[in-house]
Structure 1
Amino acid sequence: MIVGLTGGIGSGKTTVAKLFSEYKNVAVYIADIEAKKLMNSSIIMKSKIIKEFGEEAYKDNQLNREFIANIVFNDKEKLTILNSIVHPEVKKHFQKFVLKNTKRDYILYENAILFESNNTSFCDVIISVFVPLKVRIQRVISRDNTSESAVLQRMKNQWLEAKKLLQSNYIICNIKLEDTKNQVAKIHNILTKNKT
């Protein structure tokens, strides 16, 4: 069983994914982390990114994330191009991960743009992490040392919260850590058919 985990920027998806990873019978795949690794290690991806964004896209053989982010978060067309390079490779990588983890109770697939990238089709269950907009903005500002306008610009590239929530099987309200832990435990019990 593949469980998709998503949520808007600053909702705390990584925190929720970590809570799920504490269960030994769960395999967790964080698409963003794997995509970054692949962008640095895949020769195919590197050459496509350089061809599209120029030599500056890599600095000391590592992806120049700030340079790329400045381009794609201000240009929807460039974001689409980057996604068309990255997503197919991440998808292939994830398929290999699934094959390696078939004995687990379920695989948690954490992806910020699960709906936007049309990756819900291979998920059996979808969980959305929800946090009020003001809280999300504050979290991202302090986490990334950025401005409110920069955060709002990045949010423009994600679906509206309500649209995601309506298409999710479960919603985790991630404001207080203790409450979040309880919600994760409850969902895990349902998914593994344990009785609470």
Structure 2
Amino acid sequence: MLRIGLTGGIGSGKSTVAALLVEHGARLVDADRIAREVVEPGTPGLAAVVAAFGEGVLTADGALDRPALAAVVFADPAQRARLDAVVHPLVRARAAELVAAAPDRAVVVQDVPLLVETGQAGSFDLVLVVQAALEVRLVRLVERGMTREDALARIAGQATDEQRTAVADVVVVNDGTREELAAQVEEFWRQRVAGRA
């Protein structure tokens, strides 16, 4: 098995790179998707979040109110650490189950937005970092419906490009077209993956 850690800041295009790697045959373990699953209604994860932050983080139908929770945790690093302490162990446990279920010769890509922040770089055979210029990221995030201020706050709450580069085996720059990005992913796969798995 070849385990690749994929990371990049919000708005960098990491999800697009993940999809391109899947097209090449990789199996994807998506930490963001798992993070949503572990706090679905009726889960111990949601109960733990409510215990930590109160009923105000729930919608009328009992689901997690993500904007309400984000307003609390992105405004206060201590509250964010509190949330991370609840959610990260659940995400890691589920990701480990999914990796263990993959075939022995699989190429497993773990999409981990907070790979650097959570100290997981050493857990992978290769770390692939996706980067994009700040203004490019801001445009993408605003197009997704975020305010510029919220986007800047999210970016500021994550590792810097320099911190990500320090743990990277390969850096892919996503300031151009999807075709240019696909060509970089193709090159990564050919040079670093093909024949190793």
User: RMSD over aligned Cα, in angstroms?
Assistant: 1.4
Give the equivalent residue in structure 2 for 1:133: 134
- The 5 Å alignment of 1:44-123 reads 44-59=44-59, 60-123=61-124
Instruction: Tell me the secondary structure at the aligned position of residue 115 of structure 1.
Output: coil
Return the letter of the residue paired with 2:13: G
Alpha carbons 1:172, 1:183 under 8 Å: kept: yes
Consecutive unaligned residues of structure 1, counting only runs of 5 or more, are none
TM-score by length of 1: 0.92
Alpha carbons 2:41, 2:64 under 8 Å: kept: no
Shift of 1:92: 0.6
- Percent identity, aligned pairs only? 27
Give the equivalent residue in structure 2 for 1:154: 154
Shift of 1:66: 0.6
User: Structure 1 residues 130-139 or 51-60, which shifts more?
Assistant: 51-60
Return the letter of the residue paired with 2:101: K
Give the equivalent residue in structure 2 for 1:12: 13
Instruction: Tell me the secondary structure at the aligned position of residue 114 of structure 2.
Output: coil
Equivalent-residue separation in structure 1 for 2:125 and 2:62 (angstroms)? 38
Shift of 1:149: 1.4
Instruction: Tell me the secondary structure at the aligned position of residue 62 of structure 1.
Output: coil
Q: In the comparison of the two structures, how many residue pairs are matched?
A: 192
The reply to whether residue 29 of structure 1 matches residue 29 of structure 2 is yes
User: Structure 1 residues 126-135 or 99-108, which shifts more?
Assistant: 99-108
Consecutive unaligned residues of structure 2, counting only runs of 5 or more, are none
Alpha carbons 1:105, 1:192 under 8 Å: kept: no
Give the equivalent residue in structure 2 for 1:2: 3
Shift of 1:58: 2.0
Equivalent-residue separation in structure 2 for 1:154 and 1:115 (angstroms)? 15
Return the letter of the residue paired with 2:193: T
